[in-house]
Chain A
């Protein structure tokens, strides 16, 4: 299937590499390449910003969960404010990446890192947008009585949130294996989506209007998309570490 799994030793080496490198930069007193350390520092700053943005997206997702499943509408009102911050980070990180690539001539691994960051923040930003959409659904669905399949959807949302957390941990640790593992986690969410879709779509004798069901179908669609974006983040992490796309 892929070579890195066949050769676990290189994998481990690869995972450890960045940490060792940063330490080296710190340890070497007279750095022969002053540009290099500056570049490392710039990337380090960038990584911090990405993680900050990740923390905000996580928070946004958590709030949308609160709004939708615990009927906490104050949580829903807070999300647009967070979304503005997320967008600001998104634009900042993207332009910072471009500046570094053009001005500092990064090497292969750093370049991989930067290009992966650029795509990864897009995924994060999309997750944030979907969280906002979920909050809007929460407001629209509020007047209706809770649907019986709501607990199952809540579990699906928990799964998606756990995936986002895993992807961010994989990014922080630059852990290729856990980045790859996300694909399997995504299967759970996909199955939940299929099952919930069947339940909601084939419901008969719906009392009253269909709006709540429509909204729930949209909600599971969004959750499924969010999980997909989390999977993408995991894959970008694998790409940073191994240089291989899947």
Chain B
């Protein structure tokens, strides 16, 4: 009995030992199998590996340092915040732009503690939430803690482009647009001064030409007639420029608001342009309500549609159709009234993708236009759309230029706020 117990214990013990050995073997398998392949002893190899890793680390550190130096030296501002909106790092330019002198490298502070810019904070939050690069422009007002400094404070027009990084960090590039803005204003101002100076002599030239026109005999007469046309064109251009400048500088320039019925206004514009349209056998269609009342400046609104339809006619292929669609849409927020959306769609050549962001700029002519100019000779001041945009903005509306997906032609969308009731009962006027 004792013997049996002893044998049983021995068997269990041996079994346990074998099992442990197997386990140990399996555990060491990856290590030993690797060691078989390597003929060198382990220690030197380990040393070699360590030096290699060290070298690699040094290289990486070096390149990191290089990048940081480059970023520090960059002409753009750069700053990076972590997931808690704490400033991790910023470069020299960013420090100058945002007046971050209080911040020292290595210090962990909330960005908002250092620069109280609601816009910048919003941009960073949005970038993190949407995980998409964002671009925003705003006027940054540095805050000062003493009154005399505030008197000569300089606000900056900033453009920030932000990028979501790993672990909820966000990187922001800052661009100082102030010099550009000032340059632009300076340019526009000097151009307007020039236009002012040109207007008076042009008027006198016109008077002289007018007197000549009546006194000259037929062969010379023709030349003077042409001269007259060109002078008129110049005067028109100068006047448009001055109008545009005036609209831009005084946002609430004299608009004489009255009740305007948009549909009949558009029809009358079309009638004015009919001779031009007939040369190319163009047709015109309108869809929408019969009467659309808005509060607007009649002559300015007329100018808007005149310029837009004139453009459509110029760029349309012969025998095409120009379509205008008008509808009243509910407002996007609760504060404002409903607005009127007018779509002007032609089936001409449309805008090229590269031109789309610039079509409302002064004197901007698309590349396509330049090409076409040689064949069909499209004349215009280059200010038409710029004036349209300014008028629409002065009315509190918006304007967009697109290409229509179906016709392939230009698609101009104008949205104007409506202050007039447009219910059927009040349509009797």
Contact = CB atoms under 8 A, between A and B. Distances in A.
A59 B151 contact: no
A74 B145 contact: no
B147 A48 contact: no
A55 B108 contact: no
Nearest to A74: B251
Given A162-B145, A165-B143, A172 B114 contact: yes
A187 interface: no
Contact of A51 (B84, B102, B112, B141): B112
Contacts of A58: 116, 143
B19 interface: no
Interface size class of A (residues with CB under 8 A): 20 to 34
B55 to A, nearest CB: 29
Nearest to A173: B113
Interface string B393-413: 000000000000000000000
A26 B108 contact: yes
Contacts of B85: 48
B118 A55 contact: yes
A47 interface: yes
A17 interface: no
Contacts of A23: 108
Contacts of B149: 162
B122 to A, nearest CB: 9
With a 10 A CB-CB cut-off, give which of B109, B112, B116, B121 has the most chain A CB atoms.
Answer: B116
Contacts of B114: 172
Contact of A44 (B110, B146, B147): B110
Contact of A48 (B108, B110, B141): B110
Contacts of A172: 109-110, 112-114, 116
Interface size range on B against A: 20 to 34
Interface string A15-30: 0000100110010000
Interface in A182-226: none
A23 B109 CA distance: 10
Interface string B142-154: 0111110111000
A182 B149 CA distance: 17
B117 interface: yes
Interface string A110-122: 0000000000000
A168 B110 CA distance: 13
Contact of B113 (A51, A74, A162, A166): A51
Contacts of B102: 173
Interface in A151-192: 155, 158-159, 161-162, 165-166, 168-169, 172-173
B150 A158 contact: yes
B147 A162 contact: yes
A56 interface: yes
Nearest to A23: B108
A159 B143 CA distance: 12
Contacts of A54: 116
Contact of A47 (B110, B117, B251): B110
B118 A56 contact: yes
A55 B147 contact: no
Nearest to A51: B112
Nearest to A80: B335
A55 B98 CA distance: 14
A8 to B, nearest CB: 21
A71 interface: no
A52 to B, nearest CB: 6
B251 A59 contact: no
Given A48-B85, A51-B113, A172-B112, A59 B118 contact: yes
Contact of B144 (A19, A22, A162): A162
Nearest to B153: A158
Interface centre among A44, A74, A168, A172 (most CB of B within 10 A): A172
Given A55-B117, A165-B145, A48 B112 contact: yes
Nearest to A155: B147
Interface string B326-342: 00000000000000000
Nearest to B113: A172
Interface in A45-87: 47-48, 51-52, 54-56, 58-59, 62, 74
Contacts of A162: 144-147, 149-150
A52 B121 contact: yes
Given A44-B84, A55-B117, A74-B251, A165 B112 contact: no
Interface string B318-359: 000000000000000000000000000000000000000000
Nearest to B148: A158
Contacts of A173: 102, 113
A158 B118 CA distance: 20
B108 A22 contact: yes
A239 B211 CA distance: 86
Interface string B62-86: 0000000000000000000000110
Interface string A70-110: 00001000000000000000000000000000000000000
Given A52-B118, A168-B116, 11 more contacts: A41-B84, A51-B110, A52-B121, A55-B116, A55-B117, A58-B143, A155-B151, A158-B147, A158-B150, A165-B143, A172-B114
23 contacts: A19-B109, A26-B108, A47-B110, A48-B110, A48-B112, A51-B110, A51-B113, A55-B121, A59-B118, A74-B251, A155-B147, A155-B151, A158-B147, A158-B150, A161-B143, A162-B146, A162-B149, A165-B145, A166-B145, A172-B114, A172-B116, A173-B102, A173-B113
